[in-house]
Structure 1
Amino acid sequence: MMVTGGTFEAARRAPLNLSVVRAVRPVLAPAAILLAAALAPVAGPTLPPSLSGLKTLGPYVVLLLGTGMGVWFNRGRTFIALASLLAAFAGYNLALEFGAASFAARAVFTAAAVLVPLNVLLALVFPERGVSHHFNYRWLMLAVVEIVCVAWIASAGRNSLSGTAWHDLLEHWLLRSPPMPLAGRLLFVAALVAATWRAWPRPPRTHTRPLDTGLAGALMAFFVACEWVTALSAFNAFMAAAGAIMLVSLLQESHRLAFHDELTGLPSRRALEERLHGLGPAHAIAMVDVDHFKKFNDTHGHDIGDQVLKLVAARLAEIQGGGRAYRYGGEEFCLLFDGRTLAETLPHLEKIRANIAAYRMAVRRDDRPKDPEDGTKLRSLRSAEKTLSVTVSIGIAEPDDVLSTPAGVLRAADKALYRAKEAGRNRVSR
């Protein structure tokens, strides 16, 4: 069985300003790094001679560090993207030894402009499996083949390839470089769309994926680097920016995993404990518990139980009155109201409790047809679906002469929660 009938309607109806903040916040770091890269060529001439080597070595350091961190964090897509960028940057710099206008430089640049977005696109199409998965060993073999082929073409030279299929391929209109070849542009657009699609928050997920956002930003930096390839300082700056964006996204992802609950998308208990230290003297804390959740879970299964937790979390995330929802653990949640009194929060708690109690979930039958048309017909027959409802109990507390710390208020809210349960559940107690 699975929950349908708009289970995540609550997440879709989240306040517009909250949705905008969630969408914009993850792109601030990539945007700042891209801006810094655009200004770097201007600041380059002002660097002291002792730091002039950073213009060339900087991208190597950033890309190598990012590739190593991708392995350390076991992120396959990040590793593939950064390894591709590193190989492209190193290969092009080696080819520049023959001159920027040489056949070797043009061949390596054309290959990099096509293969980097292609590799990223393939990494985005397939599910994330980590670095050590056998799929990535296959990709590594493919990458070796790519490098060997590009190195052979670049070293062979134009005259040796004249009249061969390789020469005809390089001269094809899709691979002509003004400066970035059309094939590279098309693959860049496809990879950027794929990264943006994967990163964008969609119910039940309420957060933007930092790693996919980082991939989109790194692709944009790589595209600008290719467009400005004739200005070597700009090329180096934007290649370094691509690596820096991926590095930042790795740090953001590690922070998200540490401070957010993966199932519900809410901040986790660890984030709650951090926030408690920063509460002002006036605040209210509410503890929320899903009524009869264990019995519900045992009756309908853990999958349905997870869907219920997501539903409750999505509703709690809508709390008004300055509240912030957290996943406390199991079927328990916490609502923090900084700068609010208990009397000010009670109407909002009653409203959210009533909204959850009034919601009806439709549960699909286990034998529901797989054919979409048959499924549509079955969905139209409401008698074929069982509806379920869930309620929550809430305990609320605020500081007083006895409760002087947020931790004490939290314990008092937990005691109030048990009073709500003893009084019959589906109510708010203080």
Structure 2
Amino acid sequence: MQAPSYQQKSFCQLRPVAVVCKIIATLACLAFLVLVDLHYPVPSYLYLWVLVAGICCWAAARAQTPDFLFVMATLVLTICSACLAQLAVAMGEPTYWLLPIGMVLSLPSATIHMRPLHYLVCSSLIWGTAYLLIQPTFVRPLDFTLTMMTMGATLLTGLAVCIAYQRVRKTVFELQQQLHALAYQDPLTGLPNRRAFLQGLEAAGAPRFFLMIDIDDFKNINDTLGHAAGDQMLIDVGKVLQATVPGHSLARLGGEEFAVAAHAADLAHAEQLAQRLVAAVHAIRMHGLVPSISLGLAERGAGEAAASWMQRADAALYEAKRRGKNRYAVDRADTPAATGSAPS
């Protein structure tokens, strides 16, 4: 089972939050528009802007990429900034509304952007739109200076919050990756473990053939050369198996047992794969030893449970060992197991 990437995980986590926030901003903008319209004449086209913002919210909810989500979210907030700025102009004294509009729309959005650059672009558009439409007038130069300082402080604060949330998400993601590796990956060989392998057997497009693999006389390797050599043997065999079965599912089930779920076209191709695996492992040289494997092959019957399927492959494996090891045996369910061995 493959874990999602950081970008995928962040996108899946942030999209619903971003969409909800944009819907709230759009509804709030509509509420303000209706309320102000009861007391002051406002341009009717602002209702059309709110409708466009609603369409952008709908598009954001269906976004499949982070960049598209960012574009839609930025459009919504920019439209809301424009609507609120126009309402401020309609009510009179719009200069007093510049800072509240910019801060309310830009600061909360700092937590829902995947990248700090996205936040800076979005926040700059919010402030720029409000400033251009309101065109504030300042009686004293100090008022202008303080306003600019407040806008800059808001941008920097939002940027710091965005970076902090990004680091938290990365830390959580790395911890999740570690937990995923512990749950689904064999720590010695780096291959998928039994849990991941069994879940893959029941996935869509499940394989037809199961290959149970066992390293011959592995206990003797541990007893003669030590467990460090035994661990290295498992690593080397795992690498050879992995290189021999590209496109198929490989896992270490535990101990010296490995398994392959093969998407072979038919039994003949599955037997060819089994033969290649036996020969590839037999070609390894380590500490003067020539390792070998025994392999059991079984084709899954229609509607057969995974446990029964694996048990038949395991029975074929022991048949291969009984007939001399360094070979494979096939369980055809209705006939005695046939065997094949690696070339000497």
Instruction: Bin the TM-score by the shorter chain.
Output: 0.5 to 0.7
Mapped to 2, the partners of 1:347 and 1:25 lie a distance apart of: 34
TM-fit CA distance, 1:326 = 0.6
Mapped to 1, the partners of 2:110 and 2:163 lie a distance apart of: 12
CA contact (8 A) 1:286 1:395 kept: yes
TM-fit CA distance, 1:399 = 2.1
User: Counterpart of 2:243 in 1: which secondary structure?
Assistant: coil
Gaps of 5+ in 2: 15-64, 82-100, 114-145, 331-344
TM-fit CA distance, 1:257 = 1.0
Question: 295, 298, 311: which one pairs with 1:397?
Answer: 298
Question: 316, 325, 329: which one pairs with 1:425?
Answer: 325
Gaps of 5+ in 1: 1-21, 60-97, 106-228, 364-386
Match of 2:162 in 1: 237
CA spacing shift, 1:100–1:327, aligned 2, 3 Å: farther
Question: 273, 289, 294: which one pairs with 2:214?
Answer: 289
Mapped to 1, the partners of 2:206 and 2:234 lie a distance apart of: 31
CA spacing shift, 1:46–1:293, aligned 2, 3 Å: farther
TM-fit CA distance, 1:353 = 1.4
Larger RCO, structures 1/2 (Cα 8 Å, 6+ apart): 1
Match of 2:267 in 1: 342
1:249 equivalenced with 2:180 (yes/no): no
Mapped to 2, the partners of 1:328 and 1:349 lie a distance apart of: 17
Larger-gyration structure (1/2): 2
CA spacing shift, 1:51–1:420, aligned 2, 3 Å: farther
TM-fit CA distance, 1:242 = 2.3
Give the aligned residue type for 1:355. A
CA contact (8 A) 1:266 1:325 kept: yes
Aligned residues: 220
| 1:206-252 alpha-carbon deviations (Å, 9 max, x no partner) | xxxxxxxxxxxxxxxxxxxxxxx955444433332222122222222
1:322 equivalenced with 2:223 (yes/no): no
CA spacing shift, 1:254–1:405, aligned 2, 3 Å: same
CA spacing shift, 1:281–1:257, aligned 2, 3 Å: closer
CA contact (8 A) 1:30 1:245 kept: no
State the TM-score, normalized to the length of structure 2.
0.54
Mapped to 2, the partners of 1:279 and 1:406 lie a distance apart of: 14
Mapped to 2, the partners of 1:258 and 1:276 lie a distance apart of: 17
Mapped to 1, the partners of 2:270 and 2:212 lie a distance apart of: 13
TM-fit CA distance, 1:35 = 5.1
Match of 1:355 in 2: 280
CA contact (8 A) 1:420 1:428 kept: yes
